[in-house]
Amino acid sequence: MGKKNEILVIGDYTEWQTKMFKEFFESFFLTSTLDIKNLSIGLRERIEAVAFKGHSELGEEEFKLLPKLKLISNFGVGFDTISIVGASKCGVTVTNTPNVLNDDVADLAIGLLIGLSRRFADGTNWIRSGNWEKFGEMPLNHSISKRRVGIIGLGRIGYEIANRLERFKCEIHYYSRSVKKCPPSWKFYSDAVSLAQEVEIIFVTLVGGRETVNFVNSEVLDALGVNGFVINVSRGSTVDELALLDVLESRKIRGAGLDVFYAEPKINRRFLQLDNVLIQPHQGSGTFESRRAMSELQIKNLKNYFSGIKLVTPVN
């Protein structure tokens, strides 16, 4: 067997993921992009490919430290911590891992809505506290079927969520930058506020990055109104978190199901005081099946680069 190609592996990978890298590559592991400068000059000048998973910034300063860098194989659909403009400027291709996690993220989004509207956490506590035996039925909650639902960002995951919601006999509305190829019954909006005025539930499935920071703002939340639910499975940055907390605390919307937060994992403590939120620790793709498929796709892009084969999922 010939000499393995050298790569940098940056981020918090599991033991089984680490073994996968070692199987195929001569791998050098770093916790953060901040550690790149501590590598020897010789190693930095040899590295052509990086496997990336993490929240640290990866931009032109890092690219300068890796003069032969040609590929960043990103673990995950989102790549908002990677400077795509800087990468393109430096001749670096970025790949990601789309599609393989769509179903699991969409499933979690639907689960958040059902768990929130049917108050699963409260139901469990109603039993554990002895309230069921003492007081009988818990207070009534809300149905999710036959609702008017808005998808903000009808990409791959948004599309899967909408498909699932049709099975619940929901009316589908969506915001996107342009009309999408979708069932004719799905109604398009070019303005998120206008969409929010027409629906009872909003799913946020936007990509991260500067263009979508605080996209769902106080104006959108006010338009949604007191009977509205917000479900966010995209990035914490896509929703104005302080505005969301304000409307939740004042009951200007009914509730929120959140898998992502602005400063995760150190989330705003105000969320912990609310009884109208269902919160999860960013586990949309957190299944064995999705993570395995994501790792395999990340490695496939790395293999293809070193073999001179077309990359599977280039971003730029």
Q: Which residues pair with 178 in a beta bridge?
A: none
Instruction: Give every CB contact of residue 303 below 8 A, 6+ residues apart in sequence.
Output: 24, 309
- Active-site residue, from 235, 241, 254, 291: 235
CA 114 – CA 255 distance, rounded (Å): 12
164 is catalytic: no
Q: Could you say which of 148, 264, 270, 292 is catalytic?
A: 264
182, HSE (Cβ side, Cα atoms, 13 Å): 23
Any catalytic annotation for residue 173? no
Told to judge if 235 belongs to the known catalytic residues of this protein, a careful annotator would answer yes
In the set 148, 156, 282, 292, the catalytic residue is 282
Q: Which region holds residue 54: left if phi is over 0, alpha if psi is between -120 and 50, else beta?
A: left
How far is it, in rounded angstroms, from Cα 52 to Cα 54?
Answer: 6
> How far is 117 from 277, CA to CA, in rounded Å?
10
Of 232, 248, 227, residue with least CA distance to 147: 227
By annotation, the residues acting in catalysis are 235, 264, 282
